[in-house]
């Protein structure tokens, strides 16, 4: 069953004539989540983090600030870049689709993790186009536009030639609806082995998103921060799903 169908089955059934209060729905979903930790998945997170420490991601900088002065350039490689590189290396990922390129920090980190960069097929999309180096780097294809638009969707599907990919990484709108659409569309069409979602605790919408995904995927969904707190701030979170 597709992710769309699985998410649909996980949600509360609604009476045809009455929509329940959103807060009531959210609480209903939270009550249904089984908060059990998958030790195998937790070990995968720890191993990815450990391996990532040996991969050079120093050139994977964040770029223009999203969270302070928009004129500030953040020349920092954040810890989750090392985790992404380690995950890609450990799980032998080479076909990757990223939604939310920004300046390319995470893009270059994931490319650094690919065992054979010449065999990398890393596609990334954003509504902005901030770093021309993304267009000039072997193994990376940068698209500019809305990932949920029909034009981008078709281009991505053609590019991956209907073959399952290794990793879907989502770090874009940080709101419930566009993010769940990102995941629903591209998990169905690209069939990734892993899905990583940044900022799962950033705001109410993203927390609700993670609740829905946790209910849907059970112990195959994990907040990496619960395993290795250094990966990301706890108030932000960093979700991993094994499909």
Domain 3-12+19-242, CATH class in plain words: alpha beta
How many C-alpha atoms does 150 have within 13 Å on its Cβ side? Answer: 0
Q: Print burial letters for 54-68: b (CB count within 10 Å at least 16), e (below 16).
A: ebebeebbbbeeeee
The pLDDT value recorded for residue 22 is: 80
Position 4 confidence tier, pLDDT thresholds 50, 70, 90: low
Position 67 confidence tier, pLDDT thresholds 50, 70, 90: confident
pLDDT tens for each residue of 183-224: 999 999 999 999 999 999 999 999 999 999 999 999 999 999
Q: Return the structure tokens found at 202.
A: 């950033």
Interatomic CA distance for residues 11 and 186, integer angstroms: 20
Interatomic CA distance for residues 215 and 219, integer angstroms: 9
Position 37 confidence tier, pLDDT thresholds 50, 70, 90: confident
Q: Which of 62, 79, 95 is nearest to 224 (CA)?
A: 79
Name the average pLDDT for the chain: 92
Residues comprising the chain, all counted: 243
Interatomic CA distance for residues 4 and 144, integer angstroms: 25
pLDDT of 16 > 60? The answer is no
Position 43 confidence tier, pLDDT thresholds 50, 70, 90: very high
At 125, phi and psi to the nearest 5?
-135, 145
Q: Where are the domains of the chain?
A: 3-12+19-242
Percent of the chain residues topping a pLDDT of 70: 91
Which residue is it, tokens 């609806």? 177
pLDDT tens for each residue of 124-169: 999 999 999 999 999 999 999 999 999 999 999 999 998 999 999 9
Interatomic CA distance for residues 216 and 7, integer angstroms: 6
Q: Which of 57, 120, 96 is nearest to 196 (CA)?
A: 96
pLDDT of 3 > 80? The answer is no
Lowest mean pLDDT among 18-27, 102-111, 174-183: 18-27
């Amino acid at each position: 069953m597709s992710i769309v169908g699985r998410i649909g089955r996980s949600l509360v059934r609604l009476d045809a004539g009455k929509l329940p209060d959103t807060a009531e729905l959210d609480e209903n979903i939270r009550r249904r989540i089984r908060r059990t930790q998958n030790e195998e998945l937790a070990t995968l997170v720890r191993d990815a983090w450990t391996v990532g420490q040996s991969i050079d991601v120093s050139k994977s900088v964040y770029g223009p600030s999203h969270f302070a002065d928009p004129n500030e350039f953040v020349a920092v490689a954040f810890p989750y870049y090392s985790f992404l590189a380690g995950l890609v290396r450990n799980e032998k990922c080479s076909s990757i689709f990223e939604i939310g390129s920004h300046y390319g920090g995470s893009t270059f980190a994931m490319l650094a993790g690919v065992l054979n960069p010449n065999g990398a097929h890393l596609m990334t999309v954003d509504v902005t186009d901030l770093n021309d180096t993304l267009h000039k780097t072997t193994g990376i294809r940068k698209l500019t536009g809305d990932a949920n638009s029909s034009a981008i969707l078709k281009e991505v599907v053609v590019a991956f030639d209907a073959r399952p990919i290794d990793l879907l990484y989502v770090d874009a709108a940080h709101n419930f609806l566009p993010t769940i659409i990102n995941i629903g569309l591209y998990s169905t069409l690209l069939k990734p082995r892993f899905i990583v979602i940044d900022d799962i605790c950033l705001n109410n919408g993203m927390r609700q998103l993670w609740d829905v995904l946790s209910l849907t995927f059970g112990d195959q969904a994990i907040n990496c921060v619960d395993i290795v707190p250094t990966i990301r701030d706890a108030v932000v979170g960093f979700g991993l799903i094994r499909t």
